[in-house]
């Protein structure tokens, strides 16, 4: 589990940072910046404090100052559990990364796990699990049964609860141990494991595990920009003729993928169709629908079900290796 220092270790600095937070919540970003700067004068190597200062400066319109603070975060915390590199790219200070750091995603959801279901379902009207299950019903039939389902990025098990009655075996994988603990408490999965989808899911699966006739990724691909590597991994988990069901946040038609202020990615429909075809998947059903609220905005999603062409695995092996190498090279260069 990824951990990071939310406290500066200095009581006076923490108190001033708390006042800065209150000022920011009240909309007085100038006062928040002043108070946070005072806190950092007492705790100059506090990465979380510099991250907050960057956010306050961004809110005040000082993008150069925000970028300076986020660079300080990266100097103090190179693994970037705060997503400072993502913030730099949004302000034009760095190239847009094809995916966020795994440590950032893990820390984000570990911190979110205790209130995840309430925050998403009750407060943000999150609808992906229900919508994706309904779309599967349209494709496979409401009573169709799946011998084996793999739930990628299973989170607290919201999709697992929807699909449990339609499968004999349900596996769930997530990067966040906090989310997995919540999913385990629901007792709907036959197997749960912590895994990075791109780099460790093969090791996390049980020995001799067979491919699934359904792989689902509910609200997972929004944390990947370039879908090529993750689509390659997902496809390899599916048996020939099996299904992939997933959601994306909808981008413009001329957009392949784009990092948004939410630090999630949106994708264009033509790009989605191209990725499916390249990975030996035939699109069976595509739907556009509101999937959640984000502040005053409503997020429109692309919900899709595709079928893997029989015999696609052999053709994909070379592509999977190439995609992994390209992603690792991109990350190393950035």
pLDDT category at 310 given cuts 50, 70, 90 is confident
- Round to whole Å and give the CA distance between 236 and 67: 40
Higher pLDDT pick, 330 / 208? 208
The percent of residues above 70 in pLDDT, for the chain, comes to: 91
Give 159's pLDDT tier (boundaries 50, 70, 90).
very high
pLDDT on residue 1: 33
Residues 64-95: pLDDT tens digits?
Answer: 999 999 999 999 988 899 999 999 998 888 88
pLDDT tens track for 288-299? 999 998 888 899
The least confident of 104-118, 175-189, 303-317 is 303-317
Q: Which residue in the block uniquely carries the two structure tokens 């429909």? A: 269
Token code pair at residue 31: 């006062």
Tell me if 155 sits within 8 A of 179, measured CB to CB: yes
pLDDT at 316 over 80: no
Domain map of the chain by residue range?
Answer: 11-94, 110-333
Element (H, E) at 4: none
User: What is the pLDDT confidence band of residue 313, given thresholds at 50, 70 and 90?
Assistant: low
Which value, in Å, is the radius of gyration of the alpha carbons in the chain? 21
Residue 186 pLDDT > 80, yes or no? yes
CB within 8 Å of 56: residues ≥ 6 apart? 20, 24, 29, 32, 33, 36
Which single residue is written with the structure tokens 């847009």? 96
Distances (CA, A) of 266 to 75, 105, 191, 227, 240: 29, 16, 30, 11, 28
- Enclosing H/E stretch for 5: none
Calpha distance 168→161 (Å, rounded): 13
Topology, domain 110-333: Rossmann fold (3.40.50)
Cβ atoms of 96 and 85 within 8 Å: the answer is: no
pLDDT at 250 over 90: yes
CATH top class, domain 11-94: mainly alpha
Neighbouring C-beta atoms of residue 93, cutoff 10 Å: 16
Q: How far apart are CA 248 and CA 302, in angstroms?
A: 5
72-78: long-range contacts, CB 8 A cutoff, minimum separation 24: 72/47, 73/47, 76/45, 76/46, 76/47, 76/50, 77/4, 77/47
Residues 6+ apart with CB under 8 A from 307: 241, 242, 243, 244, 281, 282, 284
Is residue 292 within 8 Å of residue 126, measured between CB atoms? yes
**Domains 11-94 and 110-333 alike in fold:** no
Distances (CA, A) of 96 to 68, 86, 154, 223: 17, 7, 26, 13
Confidence of residue 192 (pLDDT cuts 50, 70, 90): very high
Contacts of 110-117 with CB under 8 Å at 24 or more apart are 110/1, 110/2, 110/176, 110/177, 110/178, 110/179, 111/178, 112/178, 112/179, 113/156, 113/176, 113/178, 113/179, 113/181, 113/182, 114/178, 114/182, 116/155, 116/156, 116/179, 116/182, 117/156, 117/158, 117/182
Q: What does the pLDDT read at residue 206?
A: 76
Average pLDDT over residues 108-119: 80
Segment 27-31 mean pLDDT: 96
- The DSSP code sequence of 159-186 is HHHHHGGGBS-EEEEES-HHHHHHHHHT
- pLDDT of res. 325: 57
Question: What is the model's pTM?
Answer: 0.84
Spatial distance between the Cα atoms of 133 and 256, rounded to a whole number of angstroms: 26
- SS3 category, 188: coil
Mean pLDDT (the chain) is 89
Helices 11-25/29-42 angle, 10° precision: 170
**Percentage of the chain exceeding pLDDT 90:** 71
């Amino acid at each position: 589990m990824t951990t990071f220092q939310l406290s500066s270790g200095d009581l006076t600095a923490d108190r001033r940072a708390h006042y800065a937070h209150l000022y920011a919540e009240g909309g007085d970003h100038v006062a928040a910046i002043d108070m946070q700067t005072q806190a950092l004068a007492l705790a100059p190597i506090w990465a979380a404090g510099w991250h907050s200062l960057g956010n306050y400066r961004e809110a005040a319109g000082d993008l150069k100052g925000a970028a300076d603070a986020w660079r300080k975060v990266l100097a103090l915390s190179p693994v970037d559990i705060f997503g400072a590199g993502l913030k730099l790219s949004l302000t034009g200070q760095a190239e847009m990364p094809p995916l966020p750091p795994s440590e950032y995603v893990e820390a984000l959801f570990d911190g979110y796990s205790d209130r995840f279901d309430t925050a998403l379902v009750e407060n943000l009207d999150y609808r992906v699990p229900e919508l994706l299950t309904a779309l599967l019903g349209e494709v496979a039939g409401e009573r169709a049964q799946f011998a084996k389902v793999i739930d990628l990025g299973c989170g607290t098990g919201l999709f697992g609860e929807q699909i449990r009655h339609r499968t004999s075996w349900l596996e769930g994988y997530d990067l966040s141990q906090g989310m997995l603990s919540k999913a385990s408490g629901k007792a709907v999965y036959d197997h749960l494991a912590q895994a990075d989808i791109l780099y460790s899911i093969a090791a996390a699966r049980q020995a001799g595990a067979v491919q699934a006739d359904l792989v689902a990724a509910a609200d997972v691909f929004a944390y990947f920009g370039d879908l090529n590597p993750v689509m390659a991994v997902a496809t390899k988990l599916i048996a020939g003729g099996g299904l992939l069901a997933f959601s994306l946040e909808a981008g413009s038609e001329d957009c392949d993928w784009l990092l948004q202020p939410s630090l999630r990615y949106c994708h264009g429909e033509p790009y989605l169709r191209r990725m499916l075809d390249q990975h030996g998947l035939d699109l069976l059903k595509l739907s556009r629908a509101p999937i959640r609220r984000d502040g005053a905005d409503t997020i429109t999603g692309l919900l899709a079900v595709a079928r893997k062409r029989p015999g696609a695995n052999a053709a994909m092996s070379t592509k999977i290796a190439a995609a992994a190498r390209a992603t690792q090279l991109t990350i190393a260069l950035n």
